[in-house]
Amino acid sequence: MGRTFRVYLAGEMVFACKKCGNHLAVSESVISKSFNGQHGRAVLIHHAVNVTLGEPEDRLMRTGNHTVRDIYCRVCNTIIGWKYDKAYEHQEKYKEGKYILERELIDEIPEPTHASDKPHIEEIITSVLPVLNNA
């Protein structure tokens, strides 16, 4: 496997791994802050970076059965949440492809507004996806 590169984010707030400070997402990616995880409150977000995915598994959650993958910090390998692969209930389909970050396992870091040298998550997604699709 080739060398992996970390992505550094800029946004109003950056979510980072509490253990090592690795950037994971920006506050602009938040869909909802009213979720619960295994360690308490959690946030549902559109995109996450600098993470690795575990194997898919079915879990029965409060809102029904879902196929999810644990997500790990790419730097320190700490579980920080999960990704929804599939929701079996029609009203839960909006979660598919989204990520949960557990607040107990992350920090919110305010970013200075002059951090324009760091890419925003939207810039990363649009520049990385064509490369990944050709791989």
pLDDT averaged over consecutive 10-residue blocks of the chain (135 residues)?
A: 68 90 92 85 94 96 93 96 95 95 93 58 51 47
Q: How far is CA 20 from CA 11, 24, 25, 41, 75, in A?
A: 19, 11, 14, 20, 7
Q: And the tokens for 56?
A: 């898919």
**pLDDT computed for residue 133 by the predictor:** 45
Instruction: Give the predicted TM-score (pTM) of the model.
Output: 0.77
Residue type (1 letter), 109 = I
**pLDDT computed for residue 19 by the predictor:** 95
Q: Which helix (H) or strand (E) holds 41?
A: strand 40-45
Q: How far is CA 118 from CA 7, 9, 17, 76, in A?
A: 9, 6, 18, 22
**pLDDT computed for residue 135 by the predictor:** 46
Q: Compute the distance between CA of residue 75 and CA of residue 60 in angstroms, rounded to an integer.
A: 29
Q: Compute the distance between CA of residue 52 and CA of residue 69 in angstroms, rounded to an integer.
A: 10
Q: Which helix (H) or strand (E) holds 121?
A: helix 121-134
Residue type (1 letter), 38 = Q
